Structures are given as structure tokens and as C-alpha cells.
């Protein structure tokens, strides 16, 4: 039986400047190194503002969650923005793969034309929860395609030694 606990993280209860407008689309990751739960979330400064990815930590899934002071997304988006201009990062999905911690995310790219894209970043166990590096696009839609407009909220799962990408 499910037990409703209410909001575990809210724009009205955080002091983080980058999450005052909206907090949504959580994904959870248990870091075995520090035995903390990490909840990666999509946030904005104001409702409808620029979206960023950040994280909160807790000792338990139903415990008190503390939001980080700064978002993590600029760390891997900035490297990529040299090529693509203003890139928005949102809707994280975090998991382990082949000795790395991977983050799938959705972004809106403005070059060579405005389109949606699912992308990925990676970090090492030693650098986690920071140190994210741009990995590439997991979905690169063609102009005018359904994916170009609707690629959103990526989710990956490893099944029978294959990586499956859902969105």
C-alpha cells in the first residue's frame, strides 16, 4: 500500500536561487561511495524560466532532502554551447554504466536550427556529483521529423546487454 507523504522538495521551501519557480521530473540515484541518495531534478528560477538540472541529497528516500546551492547542468552544457549556442538542459535520468555515471537529458538546440534532442553526459565515481562532461547526442532527429519536435524526457535501461532508449 502506498503512503502519501506530500511534496519532498518544493520551490517554496528552498533557498536555491535556481529552483524558486518550479521543481519537477525527479530521478533517483544511490551513491554507494557516500551512501547518500541523490535526487536529480529539473528546476527553473521562475515558472516558465530557464530550465536547469540540479540535485538534492538525503540519507534515506523518505528523509529530508537538501537542494544543492548551484545547478550542475552548466558544467556540461557550457562545453557543448561552443558548437550549439544557447543549449537548455532538462529532464535528467541518471544511472551507472561501464564504470561511469551517465546522465541522459533533454535539450533544445539552436544550431543549425531550433530542435529538440536527447543527449548524454558522464562523470566518474570520484568526481560525482560534479565533473559532468558532454558525451553526445543519443537521439539526433532529422529536420521536420516527429522526434525533432517531441524528443523529450529520456529514459535508458540496460536489458539483455542492450541499452534501450525511451522518450
Do residues 51 and 43 touch, judged by C-beta distance below 8 A? yes
Give one word for 83, left, alpha or beta, with left for phi > 0 and alpha for psi -120 to 50. Answer: alpha
- Kindly give, in sequence order, each residue whose CB lies less than 8 Å from that of residue 10, ignoring residues fewer than 6 positions away: 23
Lowest mean pLDDT among 34-38, 53-57, 115-119: 115-119
User: Is residue 18 pLDDT above 90, yes or no?
Assistant: no
Q: For residue 17, give the DSSP letter.
A: G
CB 133 within 8 A of CB 151: no
- What pTM did the predictor assign? 0.81
The average pLDDT across 49-68 equals 87
Q: Rounded mean pLDDT of 99-112?
A: 81
Question: Stretch 136-165: mean pLDDT, rounded?
Answer: 77
What are the C-alpha distances in Å from 67 to residues 8, 57, 147, 166?
11, 7, 32, 27
Amino acid at each position: 500500500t502506498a503512503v502519501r507523504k506530500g511534496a519532498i522538495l518544493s520551490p517554496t521551501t528552498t533557498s536555491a536561487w535556481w529552483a524558486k519557480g518550479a521543481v519537477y521530473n525527479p530521478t533517483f540515484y544511490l551513491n554507494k561511495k557516500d551512501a547518500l541518495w541523490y535526487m536529480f531534478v529539473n528546476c527553473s528560477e521562475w515558472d516558465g524560466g530557464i530550465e536547469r538540472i540540479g540535485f538534492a541529497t538525503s540519507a534515506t528516500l523518505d528523509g529530508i532532502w537538501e537542494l544543492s546551492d548551484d545547478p550542475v547542468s552548466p558544467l556540461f552544457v557550457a562545453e557543448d554551447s561552443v558548437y550549439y549556442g544557447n543549449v537548455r538542459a532538462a529532464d535528467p535520468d541518471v544511472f551507472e554504466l561501464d564504470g561511469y555515471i551517465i546522465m541522459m537529458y533533454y535539450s533544445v538546440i539552436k544550431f543549425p536550427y531550433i530542435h529538440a534532442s536527447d543527449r548524454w553526459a558522464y562523470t566518474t565515481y570520484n568526481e560525482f556529483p560534479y565533473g559532468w562532461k558532454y558525451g553526445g547526442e543519443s537521439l539526433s532527429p532529422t529536420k521536420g521529423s516527429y522526434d525533432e519536435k517531441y524528443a523529450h524526457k529520456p529514459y535508458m535501461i540496460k536489458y539483455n546487454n542492450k541499452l534501450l532508449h525511451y522518450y
